[in-house]
Chain A
Amino acid sequence: MRADIYFLAALFSFIFLLMVLNFVRRGRLKEQYAILWIFFGLILIVVSLRVEIIDWLAALLGVVYPPSLLFLLGIIFCLSLIVHLTVVVSRLEERVVRLTQEIALLWAEVGEGAKRKEEAAG
């Protein structure tokens, strides 16, 4: 029974990796994030094929129940990724605001020019 769940985990990791590669192929994911997820997918595959790694790491860190180490690492990974994403969103928002302002100013500029031309002609 044990073997089955590990096989499923490896299969899932493999499918995950394929999905990421597919996103990259279709240009839906920036390289920066693609590398991150490919790396993550590879780690998943390795860990699900060689569960001893987790046991070994848990023993090394003095963690009594190895799966909890897995959860801990997962949560740390997710949290740091979310923090990184909010940083990215903040930067994007700042840029959108600046672009919006520039466009509004440009329109005002263009409008004024068009108006002046009309006045000169009339």
Chain B
Amino acid sequence: MTKPRVLVIIPAYNEEKSVGKVIAGLRRFCPEYDVVVINDGSRDNTAAVARAAGAQVIDLPFNLGIGGAMQTGYLYAYRHGYDIAIQMDADGQHEPAELPKIMAPLLAGEGDMIVGSRFVAPTGYRSPVGRRVGIWFLSFLLRLLSGQWIKDTTSGFRAVNREIICLFAHYYPTDYPEPEVLIILDKLGFRILEVPVEMKSRQAGRSSITPLRSLYYMAKVSLALLMNVLKKFDAYRLKGETG
């Protein structure tokens, strides 16, 4: 078997302080992977910093939001014939050194999507109580809706195979893509595997989530997840297979 071509997709919105370090880390730990940064209409120097660090940069003319930006990356991976795509945050909480942990099970064919998780086994990462309650609730809801028991439903540290790249190039949820994707993949019969990884607290920038907002966030995510249960995705799966 020839070596699989791997693309790392990093969506970035105003992440000039951290995106350079993330790319440098990737260059050091896995120089054989290609890196594409989707600059989601940043108003700072994200694009220039990413280019200087040696990544391919795709500039969206305005902010599409995480779903639309991420899908741009999958579209790129699909068109350029990559076998594996990895998604990573630009804020530095996902470490390039941890990549083998999500790559190994994918290469071994243990799952179609591997999710790097903070919670499967005890790791060094500690998050605020409110956040943990919210994350637990999402897991619980996902369990009810899909029968999957994924602990870190919002983790954006993931690796997928070619078949899922095809699917995501044709359909990717826009509102709360990370948890929504889990339901969609489950409905289409893809195998999702969660593995423990080390994550850092974000290096730069601030999370926009406050207690009151996170309640509102939970309600909206729950609704979005429920809608995915009602939705039909078989057509996209077909397109993915022939495309």
Question: A residues touching B (Cβ–Cβ < 8 Å)?
Answer: 97, 100-101, 103-105, 107-108, 112
Contact = CB atoms under 8 A, between A and B. Distances in A.
Q: DSSP class of B's interface residues: helix, strand, loop or mixed? A: mixed
Contacts of A105: 58, 72, 75-76, 79
15 contacts: A97-B71, A97-B174, A100-B68, A101-B60, A101-B68, A101-B71, A104-B38, A104-B58, A104-B59, A104-B60, A104-B61, A105-B72, A105-B76, A107-B59, A108-B76
Contact of B68 (A97, A103, A107, A108): A97
A59 B38 CA distance: 63
A100 B61 contact: yes
A3 to B, nearest CB: 53
Contacts of A97: 64, 68, 71, 174
By Cβ-Cβ distance, the 9 closest A-B pairs, closest first, are A101-B72, A108-B58, A97-B68, A104-B60, A104-B58, A101-B75, A97-B64, A104-B72, A104-B59
B61 A108 contact: no
Nearest to B38: A104
B62 A100 contact: yes
B56 interface: yes
A56 B58 CA distance: 64
B57 interface: yes
